Structure 1
Amino acid sequence: MKDVTPLADGWSLRHGEARLPARVPGCVHTDLLEAGVIPDPFLGLNEAEVAWVGRRSWTYGNEVAHGSGHERTDLVFEGLDTAARITFAGREIGTTRNMHRTYRFDVTGLAGPLEVSFASAYDEAESVRAVTGDRPNVYPEPFQYIRKMASSFGWDWGPALVTAGIWRPVRLEHWSTARIASVRPLVTVEDGTGTVEIRLRVERTARGEGRTLLARAGVAGREAEVRFDGEEAVIRLSVADPLLWWPRGYGDQNLYTLDVTLQDEAGPLDAWQRRIGFRTVGLDRTADAHGTGFTLVVNGVRVFARGVNWIPDDVFPSRVTPERYRARLSQAADANIDLIRVWGGGIYEDEAFYDACDELGLMVWQDFLFACAAYPEEQPLRGEVEAEARDNIVRLMPHPALVLWNGNNENLWGFRDWDWEAPLAGDSWGEGYYLGLLPRLVAELDPTRPYTAGSPWSGSWDHHPNDPAHGTYHSWEVWNRQDYAEYRANVPRFVSEFGWQAPPAMATLRRALPGEDLAPGSPGMLHHQKAEDGNGKLNRGVARHFALPEGDFDRWHYLTQLVQARAVAAGIEHWRSHWPVCAGTVVWQLNDCWPVSSWAAVDGDGRLKPLHHELRRVYADRLLTLQPEGEGLVLAAVNQSAREWRTEVSLRRVEADGTVVGRTVLEVAARARSVVRLPVPGALRPAGESGKEFLVADADGLRALHFPVADKDFGYVRPEFDIEVEAVGDGEGKVDIVVNAHTLVRDLLLQADRLGPSAVADRGLTTLLPGERVRICLDGCPAVTGADVRAAMFCVDTE
């Protein structure tokens, strides 16, 4: 049987004349940080202090002694970042130039010093650019000339920390006769029968060429075997009435263990095991009266995708543990998210990411790794792109959560709208990848899943790539130039990117900017704001609704987080109310890779912004929303659950002081997976310009609000409320805060991290009418008083 020797210990990093201890998996930055050579680049202005690291070459070394009775020994690197030369026992055994591939080298009989020397990614990129010629790019960094995590060169939410290192595990594999080289399980379901077609490929030693090889496979109690005639074979397994894998909210996440073993006459040689799920997935792109659809269909059920975009969770991805993946993805599930789009400027994530998605029912939309640039299609890149795609399609295809392959992020749009065509003058720019190579590879290797050429993409050049009526759509003009109410201006078929910025939690800022007198324009705040005119856009977003606070950072911080939550909610509520024309929203973005002002719902320290709590509300199975439409208002009852929703909706027209001046009840009967839209009676609609009235809709614990004017034009009374602090249980970090409102209290927010860095609250923005109360449950909270809590509370107050 094959033996495996992990090579995690004993590594060192050459730094000048010295050798520093190195952690593998890891990277140069984390090793230098642990050795005290560089400051933490996430703190203050330190990013600039460590820029030199990415422009130098680095060498990792280890002394490898091993003995094996097997015929063959392979040195296997699951990830090298990026341009590397490997020597073992004084011999060069290989070179690499792709972060996103696995590498295997025959090192039979070798022992002694092992060195992995990394060139600067900048030098490698420039050498490739010299061969292929220049290409347009949205950032002044050469990331499209090297197959490396593009965002390590910096993005409008991330630092420029250009890494190098052995970023995924490395091992020795000792084997004889033959080994399993690849397994591709094609899982389908038809007429109640699940089928697994297992396509196997083996590699043999010289002695193994004449041996008879047998492979056995088993799943769900079914077994089959096949004898090899050459290097490839196919095993088919059928499972009657398998329990299906469903996205969260649609059913259970049933998983089955698939085992494959390889043997010869003498016994077992190798084994492979993964979990799979039986389910079907399709993409309905049918043309209709509204344009061209883009609807995911899982197990025959049409799905409104409640999604978020995912970026690498750390600019040093080797630091992201399985536990961290689980925590972050659990935060997504807690927000009623059911789809994660792995964005094309990052990485193909670790198995732990996809395992967690399988278990949590989070559908995965996987980009191939191209983003925001024109990519050369010549060698040496073309061969790397194909090898990388083959490697990762085969690695990821067992995961039932994976529902869609996507060719690129914004490059088809960029070619059309970002002034690329003239500078390119006919040179290649990636179209051949997205419309030729990648769909061919998906069809060859993983025909069980749909492929789309890009995001955004209208389906063909017959329409603008970012036409909202066709395919996927990115909505960025609103954040860049307009008020968030403009999200209601159209009904795209599928919104795969849109978002609004806000700063991270206060405790995150205090940790990342120690000693700084925080202000929107203070040095650290500006350095941790990477978007072009980011603060200007934040301020304009606030100023459209509130008087912009001058010299009051706490108020500014609250208002920017409030506007972020309101903006994203405005888009989702509008688009969900138009299902099935609109079939999904994918918010930019779930997470951050360091502490920064960004579009994320979870900040760089893992703390929840108010947006996260708002996503939990607007992505719930059932949603009430009040939508302006023409001169009137529409009440939309969105029912994405599997059961009919019959309810009575109480509508109240309320004055600013809480006086109810009109009320009615609307009967709602919304079928499963449907939306009911009802006109609000004219007598209940608040006067459009009065600034004295608003509308409240309540049903089954859900609430929708409509204020006809901006907050700064509304006649709020001064908010008044009482606070009670109640210890819970033994008082170990658990506290309940009970708020009793005496007036209208709009968008009350308790920023729990102000009470203690580990404190978390179970709810975000909450609006109370006079006489209403709310209980906020805190965990990880130190002993606090009512005064402490009040100091950490904010609400809309125009005085």
Structure 2
Amino acid sequence: MKIKREMKVIILIMSTIFSLSSIHASSVQTEIKCGWKFKQARLNNWYPATVPGVVHTDLINNGILDDPFFRLNERGAQWVDKEDWIYETKFDLDDETFNKENIDLYFKGLDTYADIYLNENKILETNNMFREWRIDVKNIIKQKDNHLRIYFHSPIKVDLPKWEALPFRYEAANDQSENGGLFDKKVSVFARKAGYHYGWDWGPRLVTSGIWRPVFVEAWDGLRIDNVHYIQRNVSSKNADIETVLEIIGDKEIVSAKVKITDEQSGKILASTVIDIHKGLNKVRVGFSMKNPELWWSNGLGEPHLYTFKASIEVNNTTIDRKSEKIGIRSVKLVRQPDKFGKSFYFELNGIPVFSKGANYIPCDIFLPRVTREIYKKTILDAVDANMNMLRVWGGGIYEDDYFYELCDKYGIMVWQDFMFACSLYPAEGELLENIKQEAIDNVKRLRNHPSIAIWCGNNECLDAWEIWGWKRNYTTKDPRIADKIWKQFYDQYFIVLPEVVKEYDPMASYTPSSPFTDIDGRRDHTDGDMHYWDTWQKGLPISTYNNEKSRYFSEYGFQSFPEWATVLSYAPEEKDWNITSEVMMSHQRGGSSANLIIEKCLTNEYGTPKDFQSFLYLSQLLQGDAMKIAMEAHRRDMGYCMGTLFWQHNDCWPVASWASRDYYGRWKAQHYFTREAFRDILVSPIANGEKLEIYAVSDRLKNTAGKLYISVLTLDGKVISEINKSLNISANASTMVYSETIDKLIKNIARKDVVIVAEFIDNNNRRYTNNYFLLNQKEINLPKANIISDVRVVDKGFEITLNCDKFARAVYLSVDGLDNFFGDNYFDLLPNKEKSIKVQSGLSLADFKKQLKIVSFTDAFQ
């Protein structure tokens, strides 16, 4: 018996050695992106297709569908989502790929209900846009002339029977089913698909299908590294303890494989171990510590340092597979602890309480494959350049592309990551709940190593809708049993399944069930939890009311505006469209007539009645900018009590009137320019409090800052009424009132309508922070007609404009024709006889630039 056992061991060892001789280094991945064609399933005509892509963009590229963004064309695109579509291509494999022991088809994203056939064999059915799909095709694939076919079922036809089968309805607040010809049949809640495709109050209804992320053939021998998780157990500036968990897929028994973790920059081996690989999934844990690590910091607090760690597996001194990732060493957590005000809500980064400055982010296009790396980079850099340190990836869009998070990692933008649920109730039980769980696992595993990920959030406003909007009451009134059923699904989804996924797959991460969220009872509490504040906008209140709202953390608030003239011309080029109530303008105002009425009411109350359509567009942007400036400054003045201000929203998915601070083309609205100033590392913020003027200095710096405060009270033609100079030592990471005085003493006998207050702080490194403040609504200010003189000279990549004016000029706006010009500053105030220079990126000639340059200010918008 002993001899037999020894013989078995020898045979096993020899078998392993023999098998290792056939293992080649590294997997081979090839994208299948050429030769694609598509057709309407019930018709015969084939057309060339672009992959990644979606049906709508392929129809547009083939001249079959008019641009849905232009005028009223969206209406003519509603037939597309009622059809099934077929995509197919043929491809060959090279020798290296074909001769591998394992060959997988790897789909990064299919939208949404799809049947996949390879060489006429059905290999896969998909039902979730947000998941990745991998299937072993070694026994089906050929070296030459492989036929890959993907049949996309209409998401409407798949989900309508589900809607019709139920005796009650799931709420879906923003599903524009009527625009899609579905009457009240809001089917979006049944599909694991981007909610905004079904319409939103800033977006069109264009329900897509297609191969929206790349498709790969991936071939490998012996084993492959499927995933590496770097768990940062303890992190400080002195030490970081990191546990690395590798998920390795093996197709055979392999003895004595060496696993290594290497710092690629230094070449230092951080950890290694020798293991035996078994067939199937292997989880390998290996830990290491780093002394005095360079930490990852958010924008404004320090360098977002990134290491490049490589996980590799060697067999007989041959590297079989490797996986490199950029890792930021940091500790980030949501701190919710009782304090003297109630309960805190802030993010702590590397032990430092951080005031969140940022915005809510939606997908950059309704047609996702059109979002290029250049668009992603501009979108993130525009956040960085506006001094943001956080973006909230909102739950009605998508779990973003890897490149989005890589940019956030690189530039120090923390990410509040919603799971993809927003403003709806979902039938989260049975197969759908399991699908949701797998979706969460896929995306938590994909994103968890990014240092930018600060928190996982269950949903956007779903709990708020249940408890505050009246959904619970409505269901309970009709049938308490249905209410109980929906609540159980809700509870299981957000309080059991999703937090358990986060706990298991990203154990160091924070999770909150909903936004806004105080407690499971759904109450709103200004002393506890995050807040979505919408009263000023929705009720059309004076924009000064933003000063009065208090909260521990503003995760959403906003004010709408129209895009600028050049953007409006891209979708409404005809003169008959140039009225905010025209059919075309209303089609690109998804907030409806009520949104227009709010803008008109507030604009008239704050400023007066504009003289024409272009002036209305300009003033709507100024109104949005002024409103958000008031809000952002109020939130920052409350620093310590309030620890975050994330406005709605950073971007648009098509050209539209919306709450965005940048339009679809990435053009900065007035608000984005104002945000850049309001979010600087030091804010000087004057505010009238009764009959006193108070000035606050708010600092995000981690050390005290010395400098000098200059306060000037000027008449609007430049006469100095009062001047105060004061040395300051501004407290670090805090808001401090640094000046208080009665208004009458400051303005003396001058009427409030005739003065502007200029507050400026200059630190010891000569960095200037300036803020202008009026004591009355601008409608009541006696602003003089401004005669602005300009001088233009050629500089690198464009021009420099130097401006001067003998009187105070409010909100000076510069423009030239076209969409591809960027002004370094805009919508700014010109102080009397104070020169200001602005650089402009433009490809125009000097003569054309001078001819096209338009300069207007506030008083030009009125008769």
> Does the CA-based 8 Å contact 1:685-1:695 persist in structure 2?
no
Paired residues for 1:70-85 under 5 Å: 70-85=100-115
What is the deviation of 1:159?
0.7
Q: CA, structure 1 residues 203+610, in 2 after alignment: closer, same or farther (shift >3 Å)?
A: same
> Does the CA-based 8 Å contact 1:412-1:465 persist in structure 2?
no
2-structure distance, mates of 1:327, 1:704? 27
What is the deviation of 1:637?
0.9
Amino acid at match of 2:720: V
**Which residue is equivalent to 1:795?**
858
2-structure distance, mates of 1:786, 1:3? 52
**Which residue is equivalent to 2:379?**
328
Q: CA, structure 1 residues 4+716, in 2 after alignment: closer, same or farther (shift >3 Å)?
A: closer
**1:197 pairs with 2:272:** no
**What do the CA deviations read for 1:375-414 (whole angstroms, capped 9, x no partner)?**
1221221011100000110100111111111111001111
2-structure distance, mates of 1:435, 1:131? 27
What is the deviation of 1:765?
2.1
Paired residues for 1:700-719 under 5 Å: 700=762, 701-719=768-786
**1:692 pairs with 2:692:** no
**1:669 pairs with 2:720:** no
**1:10 pairs with 2:35:** yes
Correspondence for 2:544 among 467, 485, 489: 485
**Which residue is equivalent to 1:443?**
503
Correspondence for 1:475 among 514, 533, 544: 533
What is the deviation of 1:427?
2.1
Amino acid at match of 1:123: K
**Which residue is equivalent to 1:503?**
562
**What do the CA deviations read for 1:580-606 (whole angstroms, capped 9, x no partner)?**
111010011111111111111111112
**1:494 pairs with 2:553:** yes
SS in structure 2 at match of 1:544: helix
**What do the CA deviations read for 1:67-112 (whole angstroms, capped 9, x no partner)?**
6222222111010000111111222111110000000112112233
> Does the CA-based 8 Å contact 2:111-2:128 persist in structure 1?
yes
Paired residues for 1:507-518 under 5 Å: 507-517=566-576, 518=578
**1:144 pairs with 2:179:** no
When normalised by structure 2's length, the TM-score is 0.88
2-structure distance, mates of 1:114, 1:64? 8
2-structure distance, mates of 1:789, 1:703? 30
Q: CA, structure 1 residues 168+659, in 2 after alignment: closer, same or farther (shift >3 Å)?
A: same
> Does the CA-based 8 Å contact 2:310-2:323 persist in structure 1?
yes
Paired residues for 1:639-650 under 5 Å: 639-650=699-710
Amino acid at match of 1:225: T
What is the deviation of 1:622?
1.0
> Does the CA-based 8 Å contact 1:687-1:708 persist in structure 2?
no
> Does the CA-based 8 Å contact 2:688-2:775 persist in structure 1?
no
**Which residue is equivalent to 2:170?**
135
Between stretches 340-349 and 266-275, larger displacement belongs to 266-275
**1:166 pairs with 2:211:** yes
**Which residue is equivalent to 2:638?**
578
**Which residue is equivalent to 1:227?**
275
**1:218 pairs with 2:262:** yes
1-structure distance, mates of 2:722, 2:289? 62
Q: CA, structure 1 residues 93+781, in 2 after alignment: closer, same or farther (shift >3 Å)?
A: closer
> Does the CA-based 8 Å contact 2:235-2:329 persist in structure 1?
no
**Which residue is equivalent to 1:766?**
828
SS in structure 1 at match of 2:369: helix
**Which residue is equivalent to 1:119?**
153
**Which residue is equivalent to 1:20?**
47
**What do the CA deviations read for 1:108-153 (whole angstroms, capped 9, x no partner)?**
1223322111111112332444566521121243222111011011
1-structure distance, mates of 2:317, 2:801? 69
> Does the CA-based 8 Å contact 2:239-2:293 persist in structure 1?
yes
SS in structure 1 at match of 2:753: coil
Paired residues for 1:612-627 under 5 Å: 612-627=672-687
SS in structure 1 at match of 2:79: helix
Instruction: Report percent identity of matched pairs.
Output: 31
SS in structure 1 at match of 2:441: helix
What is the deviation of 1:694?
3.4
2-structure distance, mates of 1:355, 1:527? 35
**Which residue is equivalent to 1:534?**
595
**Which residue is equivalent to 2:788?**
721
**Which residue is equivalent to 2:426?**
375
2-structure distance, mates of 1:524, 1:363? 38
SS in structure 1 at match of 2:148: strand
1-structure distance, mates of 2:561, 2:733? 32
Paired residues for 1:327-406 under 5 Å: 327-406=378-457
1-structure distance, mates of 2:199, 2:822? 30
> Does the CA-based 8 Å contact 1:755-1:784 persist in structure 2?
no
**What do the CA deviations read for 1:417-445 (whole angstroms, capped 9, x no partner)?**
12211325212252322222111111111
What is the deviation of 1:211?
5.2
Q: CA, structure 1 residues 259+724, in 2 after alignment: closer, same or farther (shift >3 Å)?
A: same
Paired residues for 1:443-462 under 5 Å: 443-461=503-521
**1:156 pairs with 2:201:** yes
2-structure distance, mates of 1:786, 1:745? 22
2-structure distance, mates of 1:130, 1:688? 70
2-structure distance, mates of 1:764, 1:792? 10
Aligned residues: CA RMSD: 2.2
Amino acid at match of 2:202: W
> Does the CA-based 8 Å contact 1:545-1:712 persist in structure 2?
yes
Between stretches 28-37 and 7-16, larger displacement belongs to 7-16
Paired residues for 1:26-41 under 5 Å: 26-41=53-68
Between stretches 127-136 and 496-505, larger displacement belongs to 127-136
Paired residues for 1:289-304 under 5 Å: 289-304=340-355
> Does the CA-based 8 Å contact 1:13-1:59 persist in structure 2?
yes
1-structure distance, mates of 2:799, 2:634? 36
Q: CA, structure 1 residues 719+190, in 2 after alignment: closer, same or farther (shift >3 Å)?
A: closer
> Does the CA-based 8 Å contact 1:26-1:165 persist in structure 2?
yes
**What do the CA deviations read for 1:1-25 (whole angstroms, capped 9, x no partner)?**
3222221111110132111111111
2-structure distance, mates of 1:693, 1:210? 81
What is the deviation of 1:657?
3.7
**Which residue is equivalent to 2:807?**
743
SS in structure 1 at match of 2:485: coil
**Which residue is equivalent to 1:652?**
712
> Does the CA-based 8 Å contact 1:723-1:790 persist in structure 2?
no
2-structure distance, mates of 1:374, 1:687? 60
What is the deviation of 1:743?
1.1
Amino acid at match of 1:394: K
2-structure distance, mates of 1:303, 1:246? 10
Correspondence for 1:55 among 82, 96, 106: 82
Count of paired positions = 789
**What do the CA deviations read for 1:511-537 (whole angstroms, capped 9, x no partner)?**
222334422223322111111322112
SS in structure 2 at match of 1:426: helix
Correspondence for 1:427 among 480, 485, 490: 485
Instruction: Provide structure 1 residue ranges, at least 5 long, that are not aligned to the other structure.
Output: none
Paired residues for 1:539-578 under 5 Å: 539-550=600-611, 552-578=612-638
Between stretches 306-315 and 254-263, larger displacement belongs to 254-263
> Does the CA-based 8 Å contact 1:11-1:22 persist in structure 2?
yes
When normalised by structure 1's length, the TM-score is 0.95
> Does the CA-based 8 Å contact 2:253-2:277 persist in structure 1?
no
> Does the CA-based 8 Å contact 1:189-1:278 persist in structure 2?
no
1-structure distance, mates of 2:586, 2:750? 39
**Which residue is equivalent to 1:681?**
741
2-structure distance, mates of 1:203, 1:123? 38
2-structure distance, mates of 1:202, 1:728? 55
Q: CA, structure 1 residues 597+63, in 2 after alignment: closer, same or farther (shift >3 Å)?
A: same
